[in-house]
Structure 1
Amino acid sequence: MNPVTARYLSDPALVDAVGEAEVPPAYRRYRQGNLLSRPLFVPEDDLLSCARDTIAVLDLLASLPSRVFDGDVTRYCSALGIDPVTSGLLASYHDGPPVQYGRADFYRNGSSFTMLEFNVASDLGGLDNASLHQALLGVPAFASFAAEHRLGYVDTAAAVVRSLRVASGAPDPVVALVCADVDLPAYRDLLGSVLEALSRLGLDVVLAGLGEVRTRSGRLFVGRGRVDVVLRYFTVDHVPANAPAVARILRAHTDGTCVLFTPMNSSLYSNKGALALLSDARWTSAEERALVDRVLPWTRRITPDLVDQCFQEREQLILKPARDFGGRGVVAGWETPEEAWKALLDEAVRRSHVVQRRVVPEPEPVVDVTTGEVGGWTPAWGLFVTPEGFAGTMIRAVPRGGGAVVNLGANSRARATAAFTYRE
């Protein structure tokens, strides 16, 4: 336990600071009580070091098609287990490296962070997390505590707003958060909280389904309003069912009348099979290898020759779909009986899955505000990057023994919170 955490836990005035914090209405509606009872605290140098590694890993991921497959995106997609239809779309969209925008998720032990996955995409949750930072600073006891320890944080929404303004080339662009119509009901609260966070910074933002996007005189419109930037909350998987709408957006982007942030090729790098390639020592230099070994656990795409090894090492492995997200389909070997694990491995060979070495994080002590008891919680640290660099954090946590999947959508025991930095 670091000294700031110890000091926080020892002060009765701070025990229910999160409960006292007045968060904005859309953020409150989205979280619906799923907040951890306290924020986390981390040395600033540790977090910035992890952010530098995160950006370096993204650069490596972006280089994989050229360094491993001579720029042949179709061969690269095949190695990742991407189906031919999606592969063809991605090959047609591949026009250079991805925009430096995404969120990498980590476990932390001591001063070291270990990467679990990298969401290289624009359809990210957590852009609204500074809503909690700011609300906590509105609680007098916490504000005094923050001043005493010189706590800091990076406002992710502010970093995103700056990036959207730079991408548009205009000081006051109109930005559309565009989601696939089929997903809009499930993600409306998340997107509403994101819209709230971006709007409070003076950005003109609208929320729309793909089916609401129209073209007039070569410009994109949502309803009666013109759009300068599309912040994409749809993926390549939505293209076949929404081809005309996606084509309108891509045409406007190509013609320079609207900016798509980010381009469609991000699926080439958010696929967990890309981390499996990166984990293979054949594709990196000695210096790069040192980075990968420091940041990434052993990760491989499941193939027939790995099944026996993965069966024998069940207690130390976790199985993940290569293209899914939100914790869906993730299975921990140490939580799975042998017979079921063997069946899962056999099925994974026929589909696109990766297996990853188990990472054991350091738990964080958390007070139950009802009972006063202190229990250990396992946090997953999400680190955002934008074109300007490190762009803040998003934290999710589960109680110790609460399951291997630390995700609000996939684990009912998961909670969200904020992280503040301090200087040692």
Structure 2
Amino acid sequence: MILNPKYAACWADYVHEAGSDAAAEREYFQRRLYRLGRTILYPPPLFAKSYIDDLAQASVELIKIVASIPDRIFAGDHRAWMRFLGIPEADADLLAPFCRPRLLHRATQFARPDFLPTESGPQVTEINVSTPIGGMATSEPYVDEFASLGFARYLARQGACFDRPATSELWLAALLAQCPVAGATQAPIMFEALANPADADASRQAFINLAGRGGFTVISGLLTRLTVEPDGVYIYGQRVHTVYTMFTWHELKQHVPYSLVRALAAADEDGLVDFIASPVSALFDHKANLELLSSERFAGYYAADELALLRRVVPPTFRGTPERVDDAIGQRPGLVIKPADEYGGHGVVFGAKTPAAAWEALVREAAAGTKTHVCQRVVGDLWRHEVAMPGEIRRYMACLGPMVFGGEYAGLLVRQTQQGGDTPVINVANGAEEGSGLAVW
């Protein structure tokens, strides 16, 4: 039971009652939560509370397991972990100095597994571990804005209550727990660090508002504008207490000198700045970790309850190595191949949609290349839900992203796309609508 059956017909009933006002409400909601290049989903799916509670608990446990990988499986040998992931030697040389307990722990405090809901249970397709987690600055405004609209009032008249996770409170708690330098001052300055000079994300103000609730004054700009001095980190002559990175590992490699990143980590070690977070988060974010979670070869590293969870929610995944080429070729119709360190659906190819010869060439190229790819069993039996709008019925498939901050469930990012018949890549880069889901009872 994914949606709450008690309220399954409420939106259709509301559309029938409100008529064109329901469509106008949807347009109003879009304007209120506008973000460049994004479509905000409305109405929000009304999930059964028991389903979201289970998804939240699974997500929290999953992040704990991922955080334990370097010690649990590699006995603290981070070079061995990086070799398993296929990290190029030059990148491993950069990352190795950051593999310290404090920075490794900090790296996993902001995470979001992405699940495809199916009729037989949720299946995780990737685990995002990084500081710029999608949904953190928009989840609470989404729920707050929804609560003021006509459909929310209609639901209340039907007796419905919905969960309002304290996303910003939990994000701030997770952040402040990692900020001893900022905590020692009455007026901490946070530098929201960008890498790409072309970055013009319209969500910037939402993040500034979020950090402002924690007492930070936020300055946004390129990381390369910072200077690291013997007594601290500065921007335009002003002392910075916390550097919060809002870019990907790929952007860092393209736009930021490694020497600056090392200097910031050293300043963090010396108690001069809180560096949130170092590039070591890229190791936890890597899709090859899914082989460690799903392969029977590694089953002995997990307790019985952990193994039961992994077998329930993680589809079988393996790296596209030379040893697995025949497996990847032979299982083509049931596999999807992905670059292990990309995002936004880049480079994702479904075997069932690819001619056999082209698939074999792709698999062999991936196995011989320097960039790690993973093959994952295609998630089938996808859950679909219908949304009534004046004059039409839209049928959607969804991706659910429970946010986990500081080991606590902090809200649900939902992306959905209108059904196209095949297993889709559901993300904003491919035109999916984005918003929050509500746990309703």
Name the Cα RMSD after superposition: 2.5
Which residue in 1 is equivalent to 2:221? Answer: 208
Instruction: Kindly indicate whether the alpha-carbon contact (under 8 Å) linking 1:37 and 1:367 is maintained by their aligned counterparts in 2.
Output: no
| Equivalent of residue 424 in structure 2, options 404, 408, 412 | 404
Displacement of 1:176 in angstroms is: 1.9
Following the alignment from structure 1 to structure 2, what is the Cα–Cα distance between the partners of residues 368 and 86? 50
**Residue 278 (structure 2) pairs with residue 263 (structure 1):** yes
Q: Give the whole-Å Cα distance in 2 for the aligned partners of 1:87 and 1:243.
A: 12
Amino acid at match of 2:434: A
Q: Structure 1, residues 360-402: CA drift from partner, whole Å, max 9, x if none? A: 3201212345xx2112111111111111511112111111117
Structure 2 partner of 1:355 = 375
1:109-120 to structure 2, matched below 5 A, reads 109-110=118-119, 112-120=121-129
SS of residue in 1 equivalent to 2:257? helix
- What is the CA–CA distance in structure 2 between the aligned matches of 1:119 and 1:320, rounded to whole Å? 15
Q: Compare 138-147 and 67-76 and name the one that shifted more.
A: 138-147
Per the alignment, in what secondary structure is the counterpart of residue 39 of structure 1? coil
User: Cα distance, 1:187 vs. partner?
Assistant: 5.0
Q: Which position in structure 2 is the counterpart of 1:367?
A: 388
Bigger mean CA deviation after superposition, 220-229 or 262-271: 220-229
In structure 2, C-alpha distance between the alignment counterparts of 1:343 and 1:332, rounded to whole Å: 14
CA distance in 2, matches of 1:22, 1:312: 46
TM-score by length of 1: 0.89
| Cα offset, 1:406, TM superposition | 0.9
Count the aligned residue pairs: 414
Q: Which amino acid aligns with 1:106?
A: F
The alpha-carbon deviation at position 117 of structure 1 amounts to 0.6
Provide the rounded CA distance (Å) in 2 between the counterparts of 1:150 and 1:111. Answer: 26
Which residue of 2 is the match for residue 2 of structure 1? Answer: 4
CA distance in 2, matches of 1:42, 1:356: 27
After TM superposition, the structure 1 = structure 2 runs for residues 20-419 of structure 1, keeping only pairs within 5 Å, are 20-21=28-29, 24=32, 27-32=33-38, 34-96=39-101, 97-99=104-106, 100-110=109-119, 112-129=121-138, 130-146=140-156, 148-169=159-180, 170=183, 173-180=188-195, 182=196, 184-199=197-212, 203-216=216-229, 218-237=231-250, 238=252, 241-283=256-298, 284-285=301-302, 286-351=304-369, 352-360=372-380, 361-369=382-390, 372-401=391-420, 404-409=424-429, 411-412=430-431, 414-419=432-437
Residue 252 of structure 1 deviates from its aligned partner by 2.3
Alpha carbons 1:22, 1:135 under 8 Å: kept: no
Q: Is residue 403–residue 410 contact of structure 2 (8 Å, CA) maintained in 1?
A: yes
Amino acid paired to 1:43: A
Q: Residues 111 and 385 of structure 1: is their aligned pair in 2 closer, same or farther, counting only changes over 3 Å?
A: farther
Q: Report deviation, 1:31.
A: 4.9
C-alpha distance after superposition, 1:129-186 (max 9, x if no partner): 2222222222134244257311123243332123223332427532221121x2x424
Is contact 1:319-1:356 (8 Å) kept?
A: yes
The answer as to whether partners of 1:86 and 1:236 remain within 8 angstroms in 2 is: no
Secondary structure, counterpart of 1:264 in structure 2: coil
Secondary structure of the structure 1 residue equivalent to 2:105: coil
Q: Give how far 1:201 is off.
A: 6.7
One-letter identity of the residue aligned with 2:282? S
In 2, Cα distance between equivalents of 1:84 and 1:216? 30
Query: Are 2:14 and 2:151, in contact at CA under 8 Å, matched by a contact in 1?
Result: no
Any conservation in 1 of the 2:173–2:406 contact (CA below 8 Å)? no
Give the whole-Å Cα distance in 1 for the aligned partners of 2:26 and 2:215. 26
Displacement of 1:325 after TM fit? 1.1
The amino acid across from 2:97 in the alignment is S
Shift in alpha-carbon separation, 1:350–1:15, aligned structure 2, 3 A: farther
CA distance in 2, matches of 1:309, 1:201: 51
- AA aligned to 1:380 is C
- Structure 1 gaps of 5+ residues are none
Q: Per the alignment, do residues 70 and 164 of structure 1 end up closer, same or farther by CA in structure 2, a change over 3 Å counting?
A: closer
Q: How far has the Cα of 1:258 moved from its partner?
A: 1.5
Task: Tell me the amino acid that sits aligned with residue 26 of structure 2.
Answer: V
Task: Please state how far the C-alpha of 1:116 moved relative to its aligned partner.
Answer: 0.8
SS at match of 1:123: coil
When residues 282 and 18 of structure 1 are mapped into structure 2, their CA distance, relative to the original with a 3 A threshold, is: same
Q: In 1, distance between residues paired with 2:358 and 2:387?
A: 34
- Does the 8 Å contact 1:396/1:417 carry over to 2? yes
Work out whether residues 188 and 215 of structure 2, in 8 Å CA contact, stay in contact via their aligned partners in 1.
no
Which TM-score applies when normalising by structure 2? 0.86
What residue identity is the alignment partner of 1:11?
A: Y
Change (3 A) 1:203 1:133: farther
Deviations 1:49-102 (A, max 9, x none): 222222222222223223333322112111111111111222221012433321
| Pair 1:20–1:268, CA change in 2 (3 A) | same
Give the C-alpha shift of residue 294 in structure 1.
1.2
